[in-house]
Amino acid sequence: MAAIYTTQWYEELKELLNGNPEVERNAPRGKYRVLAEILGDGSSPYLKEGEQRFFTVDLTDGRCTEYQEVTEAPPRKAFDFIFEVPASIFEGIAAGLVDPVNAGLKGTIKITGDMRILIRHADLVNVLYDIYAREVDTSWPSGRPPYGQN
């Protein structure tokens, strides 16, 4: 069981993405680079208000070739899609408590990129959510979402 935001956690996610035939079937063909900016929102015990984490995901024909955290924000122009996600929302998705489609539609997740591609491949979002929520065995050393509720 890997702790959230660790290298081992990212590697497990990559393996699950590549081992799931639904990901490959629903992913767009071609090469896509994705940047996720996780923003400390004052609710997460993992990122303080104002702190940020960045991770990159490279997809090639439905296969995840890279999924890693980077220490500094890379140039935004190098990515096809950028997701800006409050930490408590990202962690809620990872815990299977927050629907990413609903959060995106409400504007809680800010998305930059060609929305036509995302709409065309909406089933992929559901598959990814299912992987985060049900297949990744995440440990929560500083507490599991929802925060402030016991």
DSSP reduced 3-state for 143: coil
Cα(36)–Cα(3) distance, integer angstroms: 18
Give the closest residue to 18 by CA, choosing from 63, 67, 79, 84.
63
DSSP reduced 3-state for 66: strand
85 within 8 A of 109, measured Cβ to Cβ:
yes
Instruction: For 26-56, write each residue's pLDDT tens digit.
Output: 888 899 999 999 999 999 999 999 999 999 9
Residue listed under structure tokens 């998305």: 111
The pTM assigned to this predicted structure is: 0.88
Cα(150)–Cα(106) distance, integer angstroms: 27
Instruction: For 102-118, write each residue's pLDDT tens digit.
Output: 898 899 999 999 888 87
Percent of the chain with pLDDT over 90: 55
Q: Is the pLDDT score of 149 beyond 80? A: no
Structure tokens at 65: 């070739």
